[in-house]
Amino acid sequence: MKLNPKQQEAASILSGPVLVLAGAGAGKTKTLTERIIRLIESGVMPQHILAITFTNKAAMEMKDRVHTAIKNNPKLQFPVFEEGFVPFVSTFHALGVTILREQYKVLGVSKYFSIYDRQDSRRAIKEAVKKNDLDPKAWDTKKILSFISKNKGNGKRLADINMEEDSSYHRDTMIAIWRSYEAIKREDNAYDFDDLLLETAYLLRTNEQVREHYLRRWSHIHIDEYQDTNKVQYQIVRALTNKETNDIFAVGDPDQLIYGWRGAKISNIMRFEKDFPGTVSVILEQNYRSTKYIIDASNAVIEKNENRFPKKLFTENDQGDSVGVYAAYDAAEEATWITENIQNKINEGVDPGEIAVLYRANFQSRILEEACLKNDIPYQVLGTKFYDRAEVKDVLAYVQAALSPDSLIHVKRVINMPKRSLGKTSVLKIFAGKEDELTPRAKKSLEQFREILSNIKQFIDNGYPPSEVISHVIAVSGMEKMFRDSKKEEDLERIANMYELSEVASKYDTFPPEDGLMRFLEEVALASDQDSKDDSKPMVKLMTIHAAKGLEFDTVFVSGCEESLFTPQPGLDQKASDEKAEEERRLFYVAMTRAKNKLYLSWASVRMVYGSQEVNLISSFILDIPEECLSEENVGFSFTNNRLMGDDDEEAIIYLDF
């Protein structure tokens, strides 16, 4: 690969701890991939190399690059696509699944354990609330899950919680619900998302034999997006790094840490050199993505943060267009202006798929969607996951129930899909062990359902590939017939969605059948918002800034650049408020650096937020951008002293005369 001098320097260090501070668009994936290739050329066996990143998209991109590079390298004669003879590239969660699945006997769980998604977890928590004789309406499952998730992200298992500490009725009740939730998961033979990391870290920390096994397997560790690691991920990294050799290659950028709300610790990357003595640090500052105007504007915003490593991006790309700023009266006017400009860009020849509208909060998408519909602009909202569709989840539940008939959450989901004369009362009796109280009709229906699960399990055991397993489930479950008989257009679309799932599963048909099916189920369970991104059709992408991390587009609109949307929530102490303010600035910086050729920043003077109308000021982040980088999109307004001003504004206060 052709590397610049700094990338070359980083990729050439083949031992000891290395920290690569890579700015946005600085070619970090290319550098990390080249380093892996050079390790293999130096004699390190591919299967001894581990590379971990944060999104499925990034992991797939890295895996493809590594495989292609090995295949096309005349110095290497490895059978690249033979699993077990290539570097292990995955997300943290997928790594956790691999370790837990391999060590299922040590853990005392079934090899076919299920993975709860957030909906499954909230459903189980609702059941846990009831088990504690509490009113489900009074106890918000989302808040309880957040409480549990936050503790797990900080490395705390239920056994680590001190009941005496900060004891109160509310906290003690939350812990009681948590205890019941864990019991439900055990009965279901399931882990939730947080368990995949927490239980992996605990196993590596407490079982020296298991830890030594993985230290022997992976001698060279690579961590992408190191700044996004939370406490548990940090523990996993430390456990998998050989303390004698410290062969760890970490790539990250403190300026792009935007996940503090879910436990990411900026201190992990800031103290890397202390954690791993002898670290060689390399800074990648050349940006290959954006124009000079966008880079200069982004630098001006992020350099105001204090908790960072000093660096300044530069680019050899063209100067490009200045950053457009538009001041709207309200959100409706802002959405209209955005869609008009999107249409102009499309008319100029820009691919709709290369245009993105980013926003700070999910509620902002509604009015943008309405504007796109009104103007006949094809669009996709990222975050609407294919795998969240009811019919898709039903097919997957059949597979899981066949593999683990004791998995109550999956059995409950499909025991009456299609309807089998097994109403709520019958289902309650079945799970209470009172099948003898069922009516003859219900008993027959239950027997038929169990025969279906047995049929699916037998089909799996006979060694059919994952895609055929899914197709078999669609047919034998009766769902296809049910939807075809209805003849409704939406039901025919449901059939298409189910068979699309079979198409997804076909990616794993080349693996040994059981292994392929497990890998497929893991991919589905760990799917993220970015995995819903559809590039098969030219559609404008609407998404939160968080969902846009790691993506890039020709043209980017950042909507809602208002002080109220990019400020810390009230009630924080000064230290927490300062930290949150810096994270909001980093979030704004990430949004800006998604753009390759054109960046627009817009704001609304008036916006409806959660039912109340708010009057807004332009985000102070825009005011940090040099005047020469900006251009006003409103007729009659100009930038003076880095301020957007009206004619009557003598004190540089943001003012628009509507």
Catalytic residues: 28-29, 224-225, 256, 594
| Helix (H) and strand (E) counts in the chain | 27, 18
Q: Are 328 and 557 in contact (CB under 8 A)?
A: no
Nearest to 564 by CA among 613, 492, 498, 632: 613
- If you ran DSSP here, which 8-state letter would residue 314 be given? B
Q: What angle do CA 55, 58, 59 make, to 5 degrees?
A: 85
Q: Are 318 and 292 in contact (CB under 8 A)?
A: yes
| Separation in Å, CA 319 to CA 228, 291, 292 | 31, 5, 5
Q: Are 365 and 332 in contact (CB under 8 A)?
A: no
Q: What angle do CA 287, 288, 294 make, to 5 degrees?
A: 65
- Most distant pair of Cα atoms in the chain: their distance: 85
Q: Are 321 and 295 in contact (CB under 8 A)?
A: no
Q: Which residue blocks in 133-230 are alpha helix, DSSP H?
A: 141-153, 169-188, 193-206, 208-217
Q: Which amino acid is at 107?
A: L
Write the DSSP string, 626-650: -GGGEEE-STT-EEETTEEE-TT-S
Nearest to 32 by CA among 23, 20, 40, 24: 20
Handedness of CA 585, 586, 589, 594 (dihedral sign): negative
| Separation in Å, CA 62 to CA 27, 33, 36, 535 | 12, 7, 10, 18
Q: Report the C-alpha gap between 78 and 205 in whole angstroms.
A: 34
Strand pairing class (379-381; 114-116): unpaired
User: Please, which residues bridge with residue 251 across strands?
Assistant: 20
Both tokens assigned to 559: 């909507």
**What are residue 251's phi and psi, to 5 degrees?**
-120, 135
Q: Are 189 and 406 in contact (CB under 8 A)?
A: yes
How many Cβ atoms from other residues are within 10 Å of residue 553's Cβ? 24
- If you ran DSSP here, which 8-state letter would residue 164 be given? T
Q: Report the C-alpha gap between 291 and 332 in whole angstroms.
A: 30
**What are residue 480's phi and psi, to 5 degrees?**
-60, -45
Locus of tokens 């479950």: 477
Q: Are 201 and 158 in contact (CB under 8 A)?
A: no
Q: Which amino acid is at 92?
A: F
Please tell me whether the peptide bond between 418 and the residue prior to it is cis, using omega within 30 degrees of 0. Answer: yes
Q: What angle do CA 197, 202, 203 make, to 5 degrees?
A: 100
User: Please, which residues bridge with residue 284 across strands?
Assistant: 22
Q: Report the C-alpha gap between 51 and 36 in whole angstroms.
A: 9
Both tokens assigned to 177: 């619900």
